[in-house]
Amino acid sequence: LYIYMGGGNTAKMMRIFKRTKVNAYLLQAYEKGIILTGLSAGAMAYFTNGYSDSNRSTNPEASLALVKCLNIIPYCFCPHYNDEERKSFDEFVKNKHFNGLALEDNTALVFINDEIKGVIKSDESAKAYFINENSKEEIK
């Protein structure tokens, strides 16, 4: 059994989840061992927070910004890290003193019992990174 969430507007998703209590149901599912998975905003939802373009739904020129998420995985997350503008995540994480995870497209992380256990890639050139104020390391 698993729960899959697709992409979209992370900030809007979090507001709807809170209002409808989906956030509590997802946490219960996680605690019962149900696999949680997602793509883009759907992946970001599981992290403490994410580096999101959600503000662009109302302002196409808006900068990437912090979105508070479900806090199941204790990192700040940045999807689509291969997009040039997402490279600003490095400085964002350093300034906020966060531990960050950045994934290029076609890359997924496997978490088991709150630990990163591996990277799955559909494109061997795609990469995943751990980034904090002191370092940037590729996750193998």
The count of other CB atoms within 10 Å of the CB of residue 63 is 11
DSSP at 119: E
Please state, in angstroms and rounded to a whole number, the distance separating the CA atoms of residues 30 and 6.
17
The structure tokens listed for 125 are: 């050139």
Residue of 57, 80, 88, 135 marked active site: 80
Q: In terms of Cα–Cα distance, which of 65, 63, 60 is closest to 76?
A: 65
Q: Say which of 40, 57, 88, 97 is annotated catalytic.
A: 40
Show the tokens assigned to 90.
């490095």
Catalytic residue check, 97: no
Please confirm, yes or no, whether 40 is among the known catalytic residues.
yes
For the annotated catalytic residues, the residue numbers are: 40, 80
